[in-house]
Structure 1
Amino acid sequence: MVFRVDRRVRFADVDAAGIVFYPRYFEMINACIEDWFETGLGYGFDAMIVKGHHAVPLAHIEVDFKAPSRLDDELAFKLMVDEVGRSSFKLTITATHEAELRMIARPVLVYIDAEKHTPVRIPEILRAKMLTFLEVK
């Protein structure tokens, strides 16, 4: 299964050249992950971080920018799970506009105890939900 969220490129996202300023993509990637946790996994950041005292900080990310995105483009962000380990998980997130690939990101996140800032085992129920988004290769 693929998680999808659509987002329009706003004025605040573009630079003087009229294209998405690349750091804005990192905010969009984070928003996609946050939306996935909320609606795709049913475990929003409020439940996880504020009430559950866990977090999922970014450990590593690779991003390839394939084509520029412009003001008012509708971007379709698609998230797939590549791998779920004991405490970390690898994702692939793409952004397309009208079937044209604009960006591909490969983030690695770690499930941690937010107070101790140490990795902890991903709960089995959460792991099972993550695996429903496993990318079939």
Structure 2
Amino acid sequence: MNAIFKLSRQVEFNHCDAAGIVFYPRYFEMIAAVQERFFADALGASWAEMTPAGLGTPMGEITVRFSNPSRLGDMLDFALVVPRIGTASAGLDITCHSGGELRFSCNATVVYAAFDTGRSLPWPADLRTKLTEFLPEDRKKTA
């Protein structure tokens, strides 16, 4: 069974527009926060440690499908899985639900990169191994 990284957070006033609905750019901030927590909490590779070393996982591509609005006070439940791992990149599929209702789904690609050159680097073996835990079972054999 593949692992799923889960994170919950409540919609705060600073996330909302004047109608009390999450302003869609704030979802991108939440996606970045889920990604940051995933690397720190699930993979043991915090951005606080990577950044001073000149390394990071910038977003290479992102697609988001918004399904239903979220409102001030809603509790949002995020789930992240890794559908694929490349030499220097990885896919992240993130879904967000509240009360069982889908709020958005996100398909993203992050790249392991060096800040000084702006170039991608192969995943370190230990980080690649940890990422593999979040692959679907049928893809773990080829990772």
TM-score by length of 1: 0.96
Q: 1:81 is matched with which residue?
A: 82
1:61-117: CA deviation from partner (whole Å, max 9, x where unpaired): 000001000001000111100101000111100110011110101111110011111
Q: Counterpart of 1:24 in 2: which secondary structure?
A: helix
Alignment partner of 1:43 is 2:45? yes
State, as a whole percentage, how many aligned pairs show the same letter: 40
For 1:60, the equivalent position in structure 2 comes to: 61
Q: Mark the CA change 1:136 to 1:25 in structure 2 (over 3 Å): closer, same or farther.
A: farther
Report the CA distance shift for 1:136/1:64 in structure 2 as closer, same or farther (over 3 A). Answer: farther
**Match status 1:2 vs 2:4:** yes
Answer 1 or 2: which has greater strand percent: 1
Q: Which residue does 1:135 correspond to in 2?
A: 136
Q: Which amino acid aligns with 1:90?
A: G
Name the SS for the 2:83 alignment partner. Answer: strand
Q: 2:16 aligns with which of 10, 14, 17?
A: 14
**Aligned partners of 2:20, 2:130: CA distance in 1, in Å?**
39
Aligned residue-pair number: 136
Q: CA deviation at 1:136?
A: 4.6
4+ residue runs over 6 A deviation: none
- Equivalent-residue separation in structure 1 for 2:37 and 2:6 (angstroms): 9
Partner SS for 2:82: strand
Per-residue deviation at 1:47?
1.2
Q: 1:69 — aligned with what?
A: 70
The code of the aligned residue for 1:58 comes to M
Which residue matches 1:25?
Answer: 27
- Specify the code of the residue in structure 1 equivalent to 2:104: M
2:92 alignment partner, SS class = strand
- Structure 2 distance, partners of 1:28, 1:21, is 11
Instruction: Tell me the TM-score normalised to structure 2 length.
Output: 0.92
**Given the superposition, is the C-alpha separation of residues 77 and 59 from structure 1 closer, same or farther in structure 2, using an over 3 Å criterion?**
same
Q: Distance in 1 between matches of 2:67 and 2:12?
A: 19
Q: Is 2:105 aligned against 1:104?
A: yes
Q: Which runs of 5+ in 1 are unaligned?
A: none
| Post-superposition offset of 1:135 | 3.3
